[in-house]
Amino acid sequence: MLELRNITRTVGADTHIDNVSLRLERGTLNVLLGPTLSGKTSLMRLMAGLDRPTSGSVQFDGVDVTGVPPQKRDVAMVFQQFINYPTMTVYENIASPMRVAGASRQAIDAAVERAAALMKLTPYLGRTPLNLSGGQQQRCALARAIVKNAGLVLLDEPLANLDYKLREELRAELPRIFAEAGTIFVYATTEPSEALLLAGNTATLSQGRVTQFGKTIEVFRRPDDLITAQTFSDPPLNTIVMRKAGRQFLLDGGLSFPVPAHLGDVAEAAYTIGFQPHHLSLARANADAVALRATVTAMEITGSESFVHLRFADANWVMLTPGVQSFVVDQQIEVFLDPKLLLVFDGQGRAVTAPTRLAA
């Protein structure tokens, strides 16, 4: 088990990691999700021993390893700035951790062959990294992490340079490989969709703090606060400030929609209402859905889906809808929202309650 206890890391006047505590069990996949500069890489460097915390401690299997250098830890790392040995062949790069560990030639051959096949590197084992593409070099670094069979594997956005098909294959395969070995697998990404595809556990990060940690689908569906909900939404979470009065959520100008039953006991006050872009629809999904008139401000068509940018009252929203839509800027359209899907946050950004009918 890897345990971070009240870890803080400051550099000069800047706080990179702010009082983070985490417990990561063996055989688990743990995603660090957050935007650029949220602290993902800084946290991984502390886990690896590349940096020392300003305060707090790092425990591995009950042993305090704070300050122990990475070469004396049971850790494998693949960061965005991946490193290969330029004078070694791909085979030797992949085999290097096993050679250091004193593994037999037969064991090394078998492990390298398996990792190279997974990474689609078998034809390139005799080449040096400088004769590979950027994506192939990244795969070489990943293969080396696999054969090391470390207790802790840290991958910092490792699939960003790979083509779509291979990226999808490895997202499914890598967690299984490391779980079977009983490894603690930590994977950093900026993409909420990637966290959902990987499943496992997710820690959401913002400004060096872990805002929530738990099963990935639970963090996505039941965020503890507005920052977590925004971190776990791409396109951005749709929000609007409304006031609860009796059985209605009210906006200035007389706009309103009914308060769903599970929010009936919430105090009368102003709240930030949030919902995912795909929770807006062009058709009424059920009798509870509320019709809203919004103005189209922009269109993005991906081929299979359309992102419709909308203006509603003083809020800018995005609707993610299937198919190709042909709306034009300034067009008024009717969209539908089921109140049971709403996330509600108080004035301090804390979640008041979670939706009763959960939808991915």
The string of pLDDT tens digits covering residues 171-202 is 888 888 888 888 999 999 999 999 999 989 99
Model confidence pLDDT, tens digit, residues 153-175: 999 988 877 888 888 888 888 88
pLDDT digit string (tens) for 91-148?
999 999 999 999 999 999 999 999 999 899 999 999 999 999 888 998 999 999 999 9
171 vs 199: CA distance, rounded Å: 10
pTM here is 0.90
Q: What fold does the segment set 2-228 form as a domain?
A: Rossmann fold (3.40.50)
What pLDDT does 168 receive? 86
Percent of the chain exceeding pLDDT 70 equals 97
Torsion sign, CA atoms 338, 339, 340, 343: positive
Burial of 297 (0-12, 13-18, 19+ CB in 10 A): middle
For 218, residues 6+ apart whose C-beta sits below 8 A from its C-beta are none
Instruction: List the strands of the sheet with 343-345, edge to edge.
Output: 256-258, 248-250, 238-245, 270-275, 343-345, 351-353
Segments making up each domain of the chain, as ranges:
2-228, 235-353
Instruction: Give residue 355's pLDDT band: very low, low, confident or very high (50, 70, 90).
Output: low
Sheet arrangement for strand 290-301: 280-281, 332-337, 290-301, 305-312, 315-322
Beta carbons within 8 Å of 234's beta carbon, 6+ residues apart: 191, 192, 193
8-state DSSP, 233: -
pLDDT score of 354: 52
| Angle in degrees, CA 234, 240, 241, rounded to 5 | 140
- pLDDT classification of 357: cutoffs 50, 70, 90: very low
**Do residues 162 and 203 lie in contact, with contact meaning Cβ atoms separated by under 8 Å?**
no
Closest CA relative to residue 247, chosen from 258, 263, 232: 258
- What pLDDT is attached to residue 102? 94
pLDDT band at residue 359, thresholds of 50, 70 and 90? very low
Looking at per-residue pLDDT, the higher value among 138 and 204 belongs to 204
CATH number of 235-353: 2.40.50.140
